[in-house]
């Protein structure tokens, strides 16, 4: 277990919208297997000594792992009871990253395989939106929030460099590991046969379901914030795997939607509504 600390800076006065995000990447000596970012403290204030009632304070940390690096994304927002972000505010977020690293004696990750990202989808999702939306409507990946208790599909985008000089791969497979506060779940791909044909990242077509490795996270596991990790490998030889891709996935509790059904029936005295 290794630790890295850092600070996300929001010292420039913010206003007009919120809450904004900031990122910082920390580097570990070996590939990261699992990770969590903890809140070490924060400063939140209305700028220039302005006096306001605090209506809402939002502070959140998310992580994304690529090989031996962890990118910490922080969300920071402060406003009064007006319901908008019109007052200037500033501050910072201190964080500590706790990481479980790959064994120093384990085989190195396969250099021709890289997980570029994972799309978490319950109905429709923003992912690589720059490829199909104009700039005014583009949004960050996975920016549509996820509903707690609902089955969630995970599409894993894998880049394979066939020119790297390593043994060729005919079928690609992998496993998705889901960690909650008390349990761990290992999921196999839902693709036919549990495999896909590997290809370069720029050849992946989002409209083709078998261009990505796909997993289904049961709704019972989709509560609060979970940590999702993935590794992929040659289905014919699992001795050398890709570096692990890890990120935290938050879910939002929402009230169930009440649905009322009305139908018409015909009787001797005319139509009736039930």
What is residue 135's predicted lDDT score, i.e. its pLDDT? 86
| Token pair listed for 123 | 């109905």
Instruction: Identify the band that residue 33 occupies on the pLDDT scale cut at 50, 70 and 90.
Output: confident
**Burial (0-12, 13-18, 19+ Cβ within 10 Å), 201:** middle
Strands 213-217 and 172-179 turn out to be: unpaired
pLDDT mean over 44-65: 89
Domain 2-101 fold: Immunoglobulin-like (2.60.40)
pLDDT band at 270 (very low <50, low <70, confident <90, very high): low
| pLDDT tens-digit series, residues 70-114 | 999 999 999 988 888 888 999 999 999 999 888 888 788 899 999
pLDDT of residue 273: 57
The reported pLDDT for the residue numbered 271 is: 56
Write down the CATH number for the domain with range 113-252.
2.60.40.10
As a whole number of angstroms, the distance between CA 152 and CA 135 comes to 28
Name which of 156, 152, 127, 136 is nearest 246 in CA terms: 156
Average pLDDT, the chain: 89
pLDDT at residue 235 greater than cutoff 70: yes
Per-domain residue ranges of the chain:
2-101, 113-252
CA–CA separation, 123 vs 259, rounded Å? Answer: 19
3 state DSSP class of 221:
helix
- For residue 19, say if its preceding peptide bond is cis, omega within 30 degrees of 0: yes
Q: Which pLDDT score, from 0 to 100, does residue 266 have?
A: 67
Per the CB < 8 A criterion, the answer to whether 9 and 84 are in contact is: no
Is 113-252 in the same CATH topology as 2-101? Answer: yes
């Amino acid at each position: 277990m290794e630790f890295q600390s850092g600070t996300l800076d929001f010292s420039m006065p913010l206003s007009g919208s919120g809450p904004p995000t900031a990122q910082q990447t920390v580097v570990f000596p070996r590939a990261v297997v699992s990770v969590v970012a903890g809140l070490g403290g924060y400063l939140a204030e209305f700028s220039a000594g302005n006096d306001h009632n605090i209506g809402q304070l939002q502070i959140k940390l998310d992580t994304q792992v690529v090989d031996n690096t962890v990118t910490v994304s922080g969300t920071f927002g402060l406003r009064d009871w007006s319901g908008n972000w019109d007052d200037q505010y500033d501050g910072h977020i201190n964080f500590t990253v706790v990481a479980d690293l790959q064994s120093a004696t384990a085989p190195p990750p396969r250099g021709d395989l890289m997980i570029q990202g994972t799309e978490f989808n319950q109905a429709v999702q923003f992912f690589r939106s720059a490829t199909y939306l104009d700039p005014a409507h583009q949004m960050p990946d996975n920016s549509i929030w996820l509903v707690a208790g609902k089955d969630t599909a995970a599409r894993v985008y894998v880049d394979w460099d066939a020119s790297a000089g390593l043994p060729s791969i005919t079928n690609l497979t992998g496993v998705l590991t889901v960690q909650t506060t008390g349990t761990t779940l290992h999921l196999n791909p839902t693709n036919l046969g549990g495999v896909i044909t590997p290809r370069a990242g720029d050849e992946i077509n989002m409209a083709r379901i078998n261009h990505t490795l796909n997993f289904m996270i049961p709704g019972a596991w989709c509560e609060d914030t979970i940590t999702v990790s993935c590794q992929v490998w040659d289905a014919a030889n699992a001795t050398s795997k890709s570096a692990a891709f890890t990120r935290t996935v938050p879910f939002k509790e929402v009230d169930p939607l009440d649905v009322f059904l009305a139908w018409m029936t015909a009787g001797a005295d005319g139509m009736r509504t039930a």
